[in-house]
């Protein structure tokens, strides 16, 4: 009995030791085995990790789009690697002398994945569907500048505009302008079987939709008929890679492990804190580009004390942008000194108004009547980086006497909170590649939401109107520059950081990948 | 169950944020937002929405997802299969590991084996499952490459999440088994059995265990609900399209019918777990009978 006892104890200790040894061996980076067969993607499939998925792929009915919208659908106009507008489904375009009629000549060799011919009627149908109040499209207001669409012949579309609007090229190049097959939408859309966006998605793109298993993956396969690649890619024909599998992996740590193990070939987003680690992995190339976006601290400008320009200016001077970029973003971002992303031609920066000068900030605050500061709420989305920025802002403001209490919200409750107008100070980040974002957020008629800065100002509206409906791109650029100078003088926002877009690719599996500032372009990409 | 539906319904509708705003996007003009609200039926009074929901549930209709337009029953059904498989595997593992460890610890109480396994149990009870999941993923998925890191589809994909779930459960089961066994082993009938000269194996498994099994089974009822809950949190880490993903996504997008459907099913599974436990009582102990 006693011997048996001892024997079992020894056996148990052995098992425990084995487990500990295995764990230690693993942690110490023991010899890495190849991934199991089931997990290995076939050679004809590139695996891309997506952090999240939209609720539907029908972009007429949602404002959420995924990377797959870019590969399955084509647009009339594209933007090349340098962001210049280039022809795609439209071969060429002209605008009338008064800038109110834009005529697009379409390609004649294009057809949708379901065989429906691509023509002027399809384009007209699509944009009318976006504008149709019955569809309640969230993008409708984006295209409200269109008054009517005419089709003089089968391959010509004329957009008649309410006012001159040179920014139409931008609007026709976004993912929201991807043209859907009218036939497919009739059959599978809300008036048909209501499967469009979940079980069906039909465009003219480089890839055809195969299936979407919510929570798991989205699969698309190369369109063999595709011969209409845009000018800026070398391969105008069908894609070299047969399938793209978008795997939905919400957890960042899991995503990174899958990439490191070689089960994911392309990471579309690498978080700032992971960039250094990913850069050190073997067989991995990391791409970094400035992103079209801005992170900023906003004020409820109609509430005391934020209705005082001196208070807003003081807060602008209290924030050490360089320090935040270093500590929160590990240098994977840049300090923001303006309201628009630097890549835009309309960009204006003012380093003087956005310098770090707590002494001057305290003085301004005293001049505004708050020598001892004040207390207020600081709201933020519960996204890690935003919370860290909020903490940095809290510490910075405390130095000039402003005591803040941080409140965190999830996406839905943050939107409701801002809509109800309960905010005082709040952290925001936008991603948008056109200057009209300032119109969205600061135009008077957008109050109270999305104008959550609650900035209703006649001069601002005038400057926006002048810029947005300027007759030419040059005039528009000048108009938006004037607007920004005015906004900065009023310290309407406190810009903090310009985010960076970071992607990583497995070079042992993928070749010829080139990072595009806005989209993922698969035309030239090959598998090794 | 009605209480559960009411709590779930009120919690969701009183939380700030609404699905129409998320669908419309922040740039949409107010009239579009209002139209979407109307089309989703969110403009009706709350009690009306609740009564409508109750009558539908009564008819076995969980409604349709506000965002996907699909039947909630279908969405929940697909997700439930994934989650239930994982939960049952986890539960099975926790008993497969926990009961033998508990018995050995009790029989050899205060020995090295007992102490080692109880320390192990303490560790696994205390470690949050998502963290344990990440560690197992790193060691056995990434470093050793024995199992797929995440995803769903083959048996191999189920190993790491099931073990993660099983280890936490096993720790609890082992502790429960040990204390129940210790209580029984000291009783007179066990001594009698031994004195009759029965083999130790028979004494332990036939006489002692049979009498210690009631608390272990009642734990099963409680664990079923807990394990489904644990599976739900692990699904986010292991990227599995189960109830957890469905629940989290639907909460974030305020897709009320889906949230209600998922929670109803989860509540139902806890009730079912308790029912099974009660039935097992009767099987294990003929003295317990329902009149």
Task: Quote the pLDDT of residue A340.
Answer: 96
CB nearest to A416's CB, from B21, B25, B253: B21
- B70 near A CB under 8 A: yes
Residue A321 contacts residue A335 (beta carbons within 8 Å): yes
CB atoms within 10 A of CB B122: 12
CA atoms within 13 A on the CB side of A280: 3
Q: Looking at beta carbons, which residues of chain A come within 8 Å of B139?
A: 22-23, 26-27
Look at the pTM and tell me if it is higher than 0.95: no
Query: Are A305 and A175 within one domain?
Result: no
Residue B34 placed within a domain: yes
Task: Quote the pLDDT of residue B290.
Answer: 54
* Residue A209 burial by Cβ neighbours in a 10 Å radius (0-12, 13-18, 19+): buried
CB contact under 8 A, A39 and B151: yes
pLDDT in tens, B93-137: 988 998 888 888 888 878 888 888 888 888 888 888 888 999 999
- B142 near A CB under 8 A: yes
Residue A438 placed within a domain: yes
Q: How confident is the model at residue A265 (pLDDT cuts 50, 70, 90)?
A: very high
Residue B97 placed within a domain: yes
What is the C-alpha to C-alpha distance for residues A196 and A73, in angstroms, rounded to an integer? Answer: 14
Residue B66 placed within a domain: no
Mean pLDDT of chain A: 89
Query: Are B50 and B89 within one domain?
Result: no
**Using the 8-state DSSP alphabet, how is residue A196 labeled?**
B
Q: How confident is the model at residue A241 (pLDDT cuts 50, 70, 90)?
A: very high
CB atoms within 10 A of CB A242: 16
Residue A344 placed within a domain: yes
CB contact under 8 A, B139 and A5: no
pLDDT in tens, B10-66: 777 776 667 677 666 655 667 777 777 777 677 788 788 888 778 877 787 877 777
Domain containing residue A116: 72-185
Indicate the SS3 state at residue A117: strand
Task: Quote the pLDDT of residue A16.
Answer: 44
Query: Are B28 and B148 within one domain?
Result: no
Task: Quote the pLDDT of residue A32.
Answer: 39
Question: Count of domains in chain B?
Answer: 2
Indicate the SS3 state at residue A54: coil
- Give the residue, A83 or B256, on which the prediction is more confident: A83
Question: Count of domains in chain A?
Answer: 2
**Smallest Cα distance from A267 to chain B, Å:** 16
The interface predicted TM-score of the complex, written ipTM, equals 0.74
**Percentage of chain A modeled with pLDDT above 90:** 72
pLDDT in tens, A421-451: 999 999 999 998 899 999 989 999 888 888 9
- B17 near A CB under 8 A: yes
- Give the residue, B8 or B115, on which the prediction is more confident: B115
Query: Are A178 and A303 within one domain?
Result: no
Q: How confident is the model at residue B205 (pLDDT cuts 50, 70, 90)?
A: confident
- B92 near A CB under 8 A: no
Task: Quote the pLDDT of residue A19.
Answer: 46
Residue A80 placed within a domain: yes
Query: Are B109 and B232 within one domain?
Result: yes
The winner for highest mean pLDDT among A289-298, B34-43, B220-229, B230-239 is A289-298
Q: Looking at beta carbons, which residues of chain B come within 8 Å of A431?
A: none
Query: Are B52 and B77 within one domain?
Result: no
Average the pLDDT over each of A50-54, A238-242, A498-502, A523-527 and give the range with the smallest value.
A50-54
Domain final residue, candidates A185, A209, A239? A185
What is the C-alpha to C-alpha distance for residues B1 and B271, in angstroms, rounded to an integer? Answer: 9
Q: What is the DSSP string of B30-64?
A: HHHHHHHHHHHTTTS-HHHHHHHHHHHHHTT---B
Query: Are A173 and A300 within one domain?
Result: no
CATH of the domain at A423: 3.10.105.10
CB contact under 8 A, B36 and A136: yes
Residue B250 placed within a domain: yes
* Residue B154 burial by Cβ neighbours in a 10 Å radius (0-12, 13-18, 19+): middle
Query: Are B30 and B163 within one domain?
Result: no
CB nearest to B16's CB, from A33, A257, A417: A417
Domain final residue, candidates A185, A215, A246? A185
- Please say if the pLDDT value at position B221 is more than 80: no
Query: Are B196 and B52 within one domain?
Result: no
CB contact under 8 A, B69 and A198: yes
Q: Looking at beta carbons, which residues of chain A come within 8 Å of B22?
A: 411-412, 415
* Residue of chain A whose Cα is closest to the Cα of B138: A257
Query: Are B52 and B83 within one domain?
Result: no
Query: Are B226 and B99 within one domain?
Result: yes
What is the C-alpha to C-alpha distance for residues B109 and B61, in angstroms, rounded to an integer? Answer: 53
* Residue A42 burial by Cβ neighbours in a 10 Å radius (0-12, 13-18, 19+): exposed
- B45 near A CB under 8 A: no
Query: Are B88 and B36 within one domain?
Result: no
* Residue A34 burial by Cβ neighbours in a 10 Å radius (0-12, 13-18, 19+): exposed
Tell me the torsion sign for CA atoms B111, B114, B119, B120.
positive
pLDDT in tens, A88-123: 999 999 999 988 999 999 999 999 999 999 999 999
Task: Quote the pLDDT of residue B279.
Answer: 80
Q: How confident is the model at residue A26 (pLDDT cuts 50, 70, 90)?
A: very low
Domain containing residue B91: 73-284
Which contacts of A94-100 are long-range, i.e. CB under 8 A and separated by 24 or more positions? A95/A166, A98/A164, A98/A471, A99/A161, A99/A164, A99/A165, A99/A166, A99/A471, A99/A472, A100/A160, A100/A161, A100/A162, A100/A163, A100/A164
Residue A103 placed within a domain: yes
Task: Quote the pLDDT of residue A483.
Answer: 97
- Give the residue, A173 or A61, on which the prediction is more confident: A173
- B102 near A CB under 8 A: no
CA dist A152 to A146, A161, A164, Å? 17, 16, 21
* Residue A269 burial by Cβ neighbours in a 10 Å radius (0-12, 13-18, 19+): middle
Which contacts of A443-449 are long-range, i.e. CB under 8 A and separated by 24 or more positions? A448/A419, A448/A421, A449/A415, A449/A418, A449/A419, A449/B26
Task: Quote the pLDDT of residue A114.
Answer: 95
Residue A317 contacts residue A488 (beta carbons within 8 Å): no
CATH of the domain at B93: 1.10.3720.10
Token pair, residue B128, equals 């949050």
Place of tokens 């089709």: A151
- Please say if the pLDDT value at position A298 is more than 80: yes
pLDDT in tens, B154-178: 888 888 999 998 888 888 888 888 8
CB contact under 8 A, B68 and A215: no
Reported as type and span, the H/E element at residue A289 is: strand A284-290
CB contact under 8 A, A22 and B113: no
Query: Are B277 and B194 within one domain?
Result: yes
Q: How confident is the model at residue B212 (pLDDT cuts 50, 70, 90)?
A: confident
CATH of the domain at A144: 3.90.76.10
- Please say if the pLDDT value at position A22 is more than 50: no
Residue A213 placed within a domain: no
Residue A508 placed within a domain: no
Task: Quote the pLDDT of residue A315.
Answer: 97
- Please say if the pLDDT value at position A35 is more than 50: no
- Please say if the pLDDT value at position A153 is more than 70: yes
Domain final residue, candidates A126, A153, A185? A185
Query: Are B278 and B163 within one domain?
Result: yes
- Please say if the pLDDT value at position A75 is more than 90: yes
**Percentage of chain A modeled with pLDDT above 70:** 92
Query: Are B143 and B265 within one domain?
Result: yes
What is the C-alpha to C-alpha distance for residues B208 and B192, in angstroms, rounded to an integer? Answer: 11
CB atoms within 10 A of CB B229: 18
Residue A451 placed within a domain: yes
- B12 near A CB under 8 A: no
Residue A32 placed within a domain: no
User: A369-395 as b/e, with b when 16 or more CB fall inside 10 Å?
Assistant: ebeebbebebbbbeeebbbbbbbbbbe
Token pair, residue A165, equals 């609007």
- Give the residue, A178 or A449, on which the prediction is more confident: A178
Per-residue pLDDT, averaged over A367-393, amounts to 94
Residue B242 placed within a domain: yes
Task: Quote the pLDDT of residue B234.
Answer: 86
- Give the residue, A452 or B68, on which the prediction is more confident: A452
């Amino acid at each position: 009995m006693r011997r048996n006892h001892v024997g079992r104890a020894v056996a148990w200790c052995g098992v425990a030791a084995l487990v500990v040894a295995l764990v230690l061996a693993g942690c110490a980076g023991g010899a890495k085995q190849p991934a199991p067969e089931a997990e290995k993607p076939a050679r004809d499939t590139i695996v891309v990790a997506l952090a999240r998925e939209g609720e539907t792929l029908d972009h007429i009915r949602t404002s959420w789009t995924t990377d797959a919208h870019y590969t399955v659908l084509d647009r009339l106009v594209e933007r090349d690697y340098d962001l210049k507008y280039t022809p795609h489904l439209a071969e060429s375009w002209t605008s009338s002398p008064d800038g109110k009629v834009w005529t697009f000549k379409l390609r004649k060799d294009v057809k949708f994945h379901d065989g429906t011919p691509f023509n002027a009627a399809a384009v007209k149908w699509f944009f009318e569907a976006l504008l149709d109040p019955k569809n309640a499209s969230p993008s409708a207001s984006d295209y409200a500048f269109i008054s009517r669409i005419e089709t003089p012949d089968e391959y010509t579309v004329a957009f008649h505009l309410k006012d001159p609007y040179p920014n139409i090229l931008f609007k026709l190049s976004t993912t929201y302008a991807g043209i859907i097959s009218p036939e497919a939408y009739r059959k599978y859309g809300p008036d048909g079987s209501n499967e469009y966006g979940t079980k069906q998605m039909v465009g003219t793109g480089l890839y055809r939709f195969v299936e979407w298993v919510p929570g798991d993956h989205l699969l698309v396969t190369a369109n063999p008929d595709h011969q209409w690649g845009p000018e800026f890619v070398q391969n105008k024909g069908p894609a070299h890679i047969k399938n793209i599998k978008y795997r939905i992996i919400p957890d960042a740590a899991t995503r990174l492990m899958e990439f490191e193990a070689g089960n994911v070939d392309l990471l579309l987003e690498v978080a700032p804190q992971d960039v250094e680690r990913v850069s050190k992995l073997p067989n991995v190339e990391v791409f970094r580009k400035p992103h079209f976006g801005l992170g900023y601290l906003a004020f409820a400008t109609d509430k005391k004390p934020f209705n005082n320009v001196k208070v807003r200016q003081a807060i602008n001077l209290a924030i050490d942008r360089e320090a935040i970029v270093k500590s929160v973003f590990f240098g994977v971002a840049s300090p923001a000194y303006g309201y628009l992303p630097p890549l835009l031609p309309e960009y204006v920066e003012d380093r003087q108004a956005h310098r770090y000068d707590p002494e001057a900030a305290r003085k301004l605050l005293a001049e505004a009547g708050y020598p001892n500061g004040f207390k207020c709420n600081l709201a933020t989305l519960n996204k890690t980086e935003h919370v860290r920025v909020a903490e940095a802002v809290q510490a910075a403001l405390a130095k000039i006497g402003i005591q803040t209490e941080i409140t965190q919200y999830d996406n839905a409750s943050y939107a409701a909170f801002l809509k109800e107008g309960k905010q005082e100070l709040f952290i925001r980040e936008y991603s948008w590649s056109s200057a009209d974002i300032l119109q969205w957020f600061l135009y008077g008629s957008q109050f109270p939401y999305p104008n959550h800065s609650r900035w209703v100002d006649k001069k601002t509206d005038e400057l926006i109107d002048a810029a947005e409906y300027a007759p030419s791109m040059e005039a528009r650029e000048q108009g938006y520059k004037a607007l920004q100078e005015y906004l900065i003088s009023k310290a309407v926002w406190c810009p903090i950081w310009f985010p960076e877009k970071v992607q990583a690719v497995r070079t042992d599996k993928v070749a010829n990948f080139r990072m595009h500032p806005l989209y993922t372009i698969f035309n030239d990409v090959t598998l090794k | 169950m009605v209480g559960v539906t009411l709590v779930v319904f009120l919690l969701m509708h009183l939380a700030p944020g609404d699905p129409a705003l998320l669908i419309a996007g922040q740039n949409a003009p107010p009239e579009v937002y209002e139209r979407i609200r109307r089309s989703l039926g969110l403009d009706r009074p709350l009690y009306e929405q609740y009564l409508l929901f109750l009558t539908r549930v009564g008819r076995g209709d969980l409604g349709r997802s506000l965002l996907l337009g699909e039947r909630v029953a279908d969405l929940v059904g697909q997700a439930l299969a994934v989650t239930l498989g994982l939960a049952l595997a986890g539960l099975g593992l926790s008993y497969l590991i926990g009961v033998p460890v508990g018995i050995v610890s009790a029989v050899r109480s205060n020995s090295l084996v007992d102490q080692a396994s109880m320390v192990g149990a303490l560790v696994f009870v205390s470690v949050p499952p998502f963290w344990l999941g990440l560690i197992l993923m790193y060691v056995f998925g990434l470093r050793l490459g024995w199992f797929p890191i995440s995803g769903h589809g083959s048996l191999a994909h189920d190993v790491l999440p099931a073990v993660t779930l099983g280890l936490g459960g096993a720790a609890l089961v082992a502790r429960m088994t040990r204390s129940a066994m210790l209580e029984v082993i000291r009783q007179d009938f066990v001594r009698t059995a031994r004195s009759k000269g029965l083999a130790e194996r028979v004494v332990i498994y036939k006489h002692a265990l049979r009498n210690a099994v009631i608390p272990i089974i009642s734990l099963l009822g409680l664990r079923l609900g807990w394990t489904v809950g644990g599976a739900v949190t692990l699904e986010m880490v292991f990227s599995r399209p189960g109830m957890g993903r469905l629940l989290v996504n639907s909460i974030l997008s305020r897709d009320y019918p889906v949230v209600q459907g998922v929670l109803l099913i989860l509540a139902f599974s806890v009730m079912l777990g308790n029912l099974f436990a009660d039935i097992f009582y009767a099987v294990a102990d003929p003295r317990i009978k329902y009149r």
